Chains A and B, each alone.
Chain A
C-alpha cells in the first residue's frame, strides 16, 4: 500500500503543523510514516537537522519501543519522549501508519506540548483517515 498526498491535503497538514505547533514555539515538527519516510516537515530554520536520518531513526525507535511494550503485555506506551539539555524530542502516533515527531526547547512544558500535539493529531487523523 502506498500513500499519495496531493497539494490540497499536504497544505492542510502543513497548516496544522504551522498553526498548532510551530506557532507554539517548537523548533521542528515532522510527520513521517512508520517506514521512516517523510510526509511533511516544518522547521524554524535555526540549526538544520538531517531530517531523513531523524525520520529513519525515529520510526525505528518507535517500532522498537512498541515491540517492547507488547513483550511486557502493554498495548503501547502512552508517552515516548527524550529530554536533552537544550532540545527534547517527543513522539506521538497519529494513526497506525503515521508518527508525529516534535523537537522543542526548554521554554515549552511537556504537558502543554502534549496537549497541543493531541489537538493537532486529532485534526490530522481527519485528513489521513484512521
Chain B
C-alpha cells in the first residue's frame, strides 16, 4: 500500500526481504546500509533476539531520487526467517509493494527455501494478494561459498524449485561480499515503481 503525496511530490513504497532463516536477508540490508550510507540519514533499525537473530524486522529507509518529478522513498524491511515467527512475518508483509525472496544456496537448505516460498504465498493470501501479482525478485544468496568447496544447489535446481511458475528475475548473489546485492535492490525498486504506475493509470 504505497502512499503518494501530491503535496510534497513524494512516493513511499514498502519492499520486504523474505526467505528462510539464516539466508542473508539482514546481511543484504546491512550491505546496502554501508554502501549508501551517505543517502541514508538514519540508523538502520533492527529488532533482534539476544542470539542476534531477527525477532521482528530490520528497517532501512532509502531515498533514491526523483522519478517523473516525484521523490521516491523506499522503505526496506526484512522479516524474521525462523519458522516460529510466522505471526510477526505476516505483520511485516502488511501493505507490501514489492518482495525480494532471498533463497539460501546451501544444498542442505533446499527444503527450507521451498517451505519459505510457500509460507510467503500463504501469508500474502491473508492480505488477498498472490505471488503472481506482487512485484518479486529472487536472489540466490551465498554463491561465494562455492569457492570454499561447500556444496551448493545449482542455479538450475534453484530455478526449478522456486521459479518454474513465477518466472521472476533472479540474481546469484553474495550478501556478505556484495555481488548483485545492489542489482537485486535496483531491480525490485524499478519493478515496484512500474507496478505503482500501472495501478495508478
Report A's interface with B, CB cutoff 8 A: 1-7, 10-11, 33-39, 50, 52-53, 56-57, 59-60, 63-64, 67, 97
Contact = CB atoms under 8 A, between A and B. Distances in A.
B88 A2 contact: no
Contacts of A3: 1-4
B14 A4 contact: no
A37 B14 CA distance: 8
Given A35-B95, A36-B95, A50-B43, A64 B88 contact: yes
Q: How many residues of B sit at the interface, in one of the four size bands? A: 20 to 34
A37 B2 contact: yes
Contacts, number: 91
A5 B3 CA distance: 8
Given A36-B14, A36-B95, A53 B59 contact: yes
Given A35-B95, A64-B88, A57 B4 contact: no
Contact of B196 (A2, A37, A59, A64): A2
Given A56-B59, A64-B91, A39 B196 contact: no
B42 A52 contact: yes
A92 to B, nearest CB: 18
19 contacts: A2-B3, A3-B4, A5-B4, A6-B6, A33-B95, A34-B95, A35-B96, A36-B75, A36-B77, A37-B3, A37-B75, A53-B43, A53-B59, A56-B57, A56-B75, A57-B47, A57-B59, A63-B94, A67-B91
